[in-house]
Amino acid sequence: LFFCTAPTMLGNSQSFALTPAVPVDPAARKPRQEEKHTVLPVSIRLLETAAARAAESDSGSLCIHGSEPGMLLIVAVVEAWVQQSMSVEFRINDGTGRLKARYYITDRQLKDLEGLGAGQYVSLFGNMRMAPEFHFAVAGLRPVRTADEVSYHMIEVAHTAMKLQNEIGRASCRE
């Protein structure tokens, strides 16, 4: 003869934990909000289009899918490669366009560049810069491990574009 006395001992307002019990009311629940993307996968064509719109606007700020981007992610092939004392300049191509990229390096980051060269696919993250000229300021890069990464990146670019364009009530860039 065993009886369950926990509900009568604790009551409806108490729980087993040290926190008060939360009433389970479906009307009281708030809808889950999606977090803003911190790294946005993009294509070079998307960046070129955004830069053209920024040049025409009064603010001159880059706007992608209705918001100002933070960190950007590109997967592309390196076409030209020039290493200087403090930086590496290269031209990248992802099949949608070509873009100049600059990677300012320190001694610690030199190992990231070992084995990289023209004709190799890389995954880059960084920001767009409009001055002194339109270019991608690389914060970090790594070689692409498999050819699937290129396809997956383009699928992710399309998926993110669809998701961000269909959001209701998203904040838009100021024109």
pLDDT in tens, 88-107: 899 999 999 999 999 988 77
Rounded-to-integer distance, Cα 122 and Cα 20, Å:
51
Residues 33-83: pLDDT tens digits? 555 557 899 999 999 999 888 888 877 778 888 778 889 999 999 999 888
List the beta bridge partners of residue 83: 88
Under a CB-based contact definition with an 8 Å cutoff, are residues 78 and 143 in contact?
A: no
- In degrees, rounded to 5, the angle at the alpha carbon of residue 145 between the alpha carbons of residues 144 and 150 is 50
- In degrees, rounded to 5, the angle at the alpha carbon of residue 93 between the alpha carbons of residues 136 and 132 is 25
Rounded-to-integer distance, Cα 18 and Cα 78, Å:
57
Predicted TM-score of the model (pTM)? 0.72
pLDDT of residue 4 exceeding 50, the answer is yes
